[in-house]
């Protein structure tokens, strides 16, 4: 039986298998369709129907269930997550597993489509060390992104001394930025 | 593709065990179910069987090594710990003279999917047959399965002519 106790291990292996067997586009479609709207349809329904409250209900439940080290910050127009100790990536790191070369990409792979279909967009960074941040907001509103970052205070993962030690991948409005992208002026240093 | 578990795994066993416990989130059954459906709907039944066989042969290669080295005692130890860690379900593991029998009275995965009104991918239960057959073959054992739909009996046994470890 395939269990949930080592789920992140065979999930990571499956990413590599799908890309190797069917190509990168198939893997992206797997995240955007199967994970986003089949597996995680409860997340989509919560976010679509309840907006930020739905996000808090979903991630509050999920991240608590996984006992992740994280913080949620809300302002009037931004929902922010600071992840300090991702249990999923942490499992892979501790077990030396890296079948797929960018495991962290799967989160944007499914959360991006869910957020967009529900009327939101996302700014996001991950550093491949089990740390990342997310800001979800309505793209058609002038969201104050710095206010959420400031409100996060010392929970802001970007303030960690080791934040920049990892290989950071940067997304703006759900699109991955080129590797040389060193962030917008609003980013913490 | 073949991915070995490094020595670091043993060194960090205590911490890993904690993470494994923390990560046994039952909602992951939703993703397993969705993965099977994605492959079935896009690439067909044979492709799904190939995925399961590859998972058993490659991802679970270290487990097959454990079974080959530790024999049926290790098989019994593994599955006892496995079902103790999975959320829910009702399964017993019996170490008999020449086999290990898993009696699944309530499969934890099927239970969770039904509890949350998820459409279970056709053939979901067959993943146990394909994955565990691949593991058993790599371990020099045989695997059989009878039943399905949340209730089944699974048996790991030594191949004919081989003595128990």
pLDDT single digits (tens) B23-81 = 458 889 999 999 999 999 999 999 999 999 999 999 999 999 999 999 999 999 999 99
**Cβ neighbours for A107, distance < 8 A, ≥ 6 positions apart:** A124, A126, A132
Q: Which residues of B touch A67 (CB under 8 A)?
A: 22
How remote is the C-alpha of B118 from its chain's centroid? 21
In a domain, A69, yes or no: yes
Which of B13, B25, B46, B134 is the mutation pick for testing A, counting most A CBs within 10 A?
B25
Closest CA to A131 of A189, A83, A71, A60: A83
CA atoms of A171 and A175, how far apart (whole Å): 5
Q: What is the mean pLDDT of each run of 10 residues along chain A (189 residues)?
A: 93 98 98 98 96 93 68 95 93 94 96 98 96 96 93 94 93 90 45
Closest alpha carbon within chain B to A30: B38
| pLDDT at residue A65, rounded to an integer | 56
Q: What is the mean pLDDT of residues B1-15?
A: 33
Q: Tell me: ipTM over 0.85.
A: yes
Of A11, A96, A99, Cβ closest to residue B6: A96
Q: Please enumerate residues of A whose Cβ is less than 8 A from a Cβ of B.
A: 1-11, 13-14, 16-17, 20-22, 26, 30, 33-35, 38-40, 42, 62, 65-67, 87-88, 90-91, 94-97, 99
Q: Strand (E) positions, chain A? A: 69-74, 79-85, 121-126, 132-137, 169-172, 175-176
Residue B8: pLDDT band with limits 50, 70, 90: very low
CA distances from A157 to A6, A66, A129, B10 (A): 26, 19, 12, 30
What tokens does A4 get? Answer: 């949930």
Q: Which residues of B touch A42 (CB under 8 A)?
A: 30, 116
| pLDDT at residue B7, rounded to an integer | 32
CA atoms of A112 and A175, how far apart (whole Å): 9
The total number of structural domains in chain A stands at: 1
Domain ranges of chain B: 7-158
| pLDDT at residue A182, rounded to an integer | 53
Evaluate if residue B140 carries a pLDDT over 50: yes
Give the angle A10-B86-B150 at the CA atoms, nearest 5°: 95
Closest alpha carbon within chain A to B24: A5
In a domain, A1, yes or no: no
Evaluate if residue B17 carries a pLDDT over 80: no
CA atoms of A81 and A143, how far apart (whole Å): 16
| pLDDT at residue B26, rounded to an integer | 86
Cβ distance of B23 and A10 shorter than 8 Å: no
Evaluate if residue B90 carries a pLDDT over 60: yes
Domain that holds residue A120: 7-176
What is the residue-averaged pLDDT of chain B?
A: 87
CA atoms of A125 and A83, how far apart (whole Å): 10
Q: For residue A129, what is the domain's CATH number? A: 3.30.1380
Give the angle A13-A18-A22 at the CA atoms, nearest 5°: 160
In a domain, A12, yes or no: yes
In a domain, A185, yes or no: no
| pLDDT at residue B165, rounded to an integer | 52
The CATH class of B7-158 is alpha beta
8 Å CB contact between A73 and A83: no
Q: Which residues of B touch A27 (CB under 8 A)?
A: none
Residue B16: pLDDT band with limits 50, 70, 90: very low
In a domain, A2, yes or no: no
Which of A2, A60, A86, A114 is the mutation pick for testing B, counting most B CBs within 10 A?
A2
In a domain, A161, yes or no: yes
Cβ distance of A94 and B35 shorter than 8 Å: no
In a domain, A163, yes or no: yes
Residue with tokens 């929970």: A155
| pLDDT at residue A189, rounded to an integer | 35
Cβ distance of B85 and A5 shorter than 8 Å: yes
Residue B115 CB coordination number (10 Å): 11
Rounded to the nearest angstrom, the minimum Cα separation between B161 and chain A is 27
Cβ distance of B16 and A95 shorter than 8 Å: yes
Q: Is B103 helix (H, G, I), strand (E, B) or coil?
A: strand
CA atoms of B24 and A128, how far apart (whole Å): 22
What tokens does A40 get? Answer: 């995680």
Cβ distance of B59 and A13 shorter than 8 Å: yes
| pLDDT at residue B36, rounded to an integer | 98
| pLDDT at residue A69, rounded to an integer | 84
């Amino acid at each position: 039986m395939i269990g949930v106790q080592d789920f992140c291990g065979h999930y990571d292996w499956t990413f590599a298998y799908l890309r190797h067997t069917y190509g990168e586009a198939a893997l992206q479609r797997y995240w955007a369709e199967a994970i986003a709207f089949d597996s995680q349809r409860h997340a989509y329904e919560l976010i679509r129907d309840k907006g930020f409250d739905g996000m808090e209900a979903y991630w509050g439940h999920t991240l608590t269930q996984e006992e992740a080290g994280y913080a949620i910050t809300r302002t009037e127009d931004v929902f922010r997550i600071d992840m300090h100790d991702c249990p999923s990536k942490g499992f892979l790191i501790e077990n030396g597993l890296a079948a797929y070369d960018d495991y962290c990409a799967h989160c944007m792979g499914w959360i991006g489509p869910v957020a967009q279909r529900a009327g939101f967009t996302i700014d996001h960074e991950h550093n491949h060390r089990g740390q990342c941040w997310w800001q979800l907001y309505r793209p058609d509103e002038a969201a104050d992104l710095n206010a959420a970052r400031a409100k996060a205070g010392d929970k802001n993962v970007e303030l960690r001394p080791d934040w920049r030690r990892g290989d950071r991948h940067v997304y703006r409005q759900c699109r991955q930025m080129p590797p040389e992208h060193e962030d917008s002026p609003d980013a913490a240093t | 593709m073949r991915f070995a578990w490094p020595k670091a795994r043993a060194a960090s066993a205590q911490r890993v065990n904690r993470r494994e416990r923390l990560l046994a989130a039952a909602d992951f059954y939703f993703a397993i179910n969705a993965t099977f459906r994605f492959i079935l709907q896009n690439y067909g039944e044979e492709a799904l069987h190939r995925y399961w066989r590859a998972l058993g042969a490659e991802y679970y290669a270290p487990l097959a090594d454990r079974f080959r080295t530790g024999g049926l005692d290790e098989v019994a130890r593994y599955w006892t710990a496995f079902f103790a860690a999975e959320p829910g379900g009702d399964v017993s593991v019996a170490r008999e003279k020449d086999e290990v029998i898993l009696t699944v009275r309530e499969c934890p995965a099927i239970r969770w999917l039904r509890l949350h009104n998820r459409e279970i991918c056709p053939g979901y239960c067959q993943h146990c047959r394909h994955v565990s057959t691949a593991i058993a073959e790599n371990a020099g054992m045989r695997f059989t399965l009878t039943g399905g739909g949340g209730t089944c009996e699974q048996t790991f046994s030594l191949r004919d002519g081989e003595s128990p470890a």
